[in-house]
Structure 1
Amino acid sequence: MSTDQTDAVEAFEGLGLTSYEAKVFIALQQLGSGTARDVARVVDVPRSQVYSVAESLEERGLLEVQQSSPIRYRPVSVDEARETLRERFENEQERAFEYVETVREEPNGEEEQEDIWTVRGRTRVDDRAVDILSNAEEQIVFGTRLPELLTEEIERTLEERAASGVDVMGVSREPVIRSQLDDLEGVSSFSPPDHRTDDERSGRIVIVDDDSVLLSVVDDDGTETAIWSAGSLFASVLIQLIEANAEAPMR
């Protein structure tokens, strides 16, 4: 098989077909129609296997069978096959996730655990920070020392929450970042206490409503890793510790 054909077979497998089903379907598209012998000539599927594979493809609605001697097979059009597989994929997806949702909703009898999560990678930390900020109802504190960590989406989210009545404050030792924060509608900024001047690892801090927190660090290679927690005792205690060491009030 060529590289392109191998890729196509793998793609059909991702849509739920077996390798043999994908190969027979592709072969029949090449032939237009044909017998099991014809199919076996153009694809590496044993002739004895073509019959059962074709029967399976017929059940899937991907080919038609002509009751002749010998039996001939004709594939449905590409558009019809695409629509058939799309509907099948969507149905299977719905069936699978309906069950998952049911399982998630069922109580398992375990005691509630404190949720402390780790997120790795700049994009994933971006997404988690925005998600936490978006849920703010009363107060937000956002801080960073690195301009690239104050993304446009975070800026937009800070302004949106401020417009909805949330008290939004930014914190940074870097004047350029404080200026950037102050330029946001409804956002004010302050500089944290100078407990350390050699900080080269801190990334971001997000505090929301006294019960959600995200803290990140940046490795030497630029990789960002964060821990976050929402609605937990851990988050509440950590926020209290942070507030106790801050010069500016966070309330």
Structure 2
Amino acid sequence: MEIVTQRLITALNNMGLPNLDAKVYAALVYLNSVGAKELIDFVEISKPSVYDSLQKLEERGLVVKNSYKPSIYTAVSPNLAIEIINREYDQAKEVALEELQHLIQSQKIKEENDAIWTVFGERNIRPKIREMIHSAEDYIICLMGERYIPLFEDLEIFAPLTLYIVSNDPDISSRVEEKLGKSNTSVTSIPISEIVKGMPHSTKKEQSPELMDISNLFEIIIDDKETLSIPPIRTNKLTGLHSSIDLMLYVAIDRMEMISGLAIHTPGKKKRK
């Protein structure tokens, strides 16, 4: 069965066709119309497994069996097969999203001492940030390095957005506002030197460029619900602290004000104590 490549089987797997079903369907496309015995000899899979796969493929509309004895099996055209698989995927996606949203609405409220999470690595941090931004309803306030600007692009943002971007580029505010194209967006640039002055340091060593990387700085507050913070340190792997505890929200506001030297106003319902 070397003519049926693993590349093809993997692609069909990724589209939602189980491994055995993918092999049987691909074999039928190559063999055209064949009986079960010839198919079994070709795929070198046990007889019960092949018959089981044929039945599943037939039920999904990917294989047609004639009424003659012995039965002859024919694969539907690849274009029709992909259309059927995509339709099933779209339907499954809608059901899964609906059920998962139901779980979110019904989820138990965690105790506050369980609501602090560490998010490791850029691969995990970036989708988490985008999820937070997209889910915001009342407001988004964010202090960040330039590297995070793409996280706000090509994303539906429903809440008013206030961005403080750490950059020495005097035109970055207008460019970002134009790029995002939202009337309820405010973008302010803060020179790097101002941020460095506002950073708390216990020793002069901590001010060393070898330890600090202002471009990694990220502080965001979403509604009155959650915050995520990434420290401005030089590292090979970003680490963020995510929390929904009231105290952590107040701490995040204080930290943003201390670093930026600006008065951060949160338009949400909760007021800082």
Is the TM-score greater than 0.5?
A: yes
Which structure 2 residues correspond to residues 1-251 of structure 1 after superposition, within 5 A?
A: 1-2=1-2, 5-47=5-47, 49-108=49-108, 111=111, 115-122=115-122, 125-126=125-126, 135=136, 140=141, 142-144=143-145, 149=147, 151=149, 169-170=164-165, 177=167, 179-180=168-169, 183-185=172-174, 187-189=188-190, 191-192=194-195, 193=197, 196=201, 197-198=207-208, 200-202=211-213, 203-208=216-221, 213-217=227-231, 222-229=236-243, 232-240=246-254, 243=257, 247=261, 249-250=263-264
Alpha carbons of 1:133 and 1:36: their partners in 2 closer, same or farther (altered >3 Å)?
closer
- TM-score (structure 2 length as normaliser): 0.65
Partners of 1:133 and 1:206 within 8 A in 2: no
Q: Structure 1 residue 31: deviation in Å? A: 1.5
Amino acid at match of 1:223: K
Partners of 1:149 and 1:204 within 8 A in 2: no
Partners of 2:141 and 2:221 within 8 A in 1: yes
Partners of 1:214 and 1:226 within 8 A in 2: yes
Q: Using the aligned pairs only, state the percent identity.
A: 22
Q: Quick one: distance in 2 between partners of 1:156 and 1:54?
A: 43
Rg (Cα) greater in structure: 1
Q: CA RMSD in A?
A: 4.0
Unaligned runs of 5+ in 1: none
Unaligned runs of 5+ in 2: 175-186, 202-206, 266-273
Number of aligned residue pairs: 237
Matched residue of 2:5: which SS?
helix
Matched residue of 1:69: which SS?
coil
Partners of 2:219 and 2:256 within 8 A in 1: no
Q: Quick one: distance in 2 between partners of 1:65 and 1:90?
A: 26
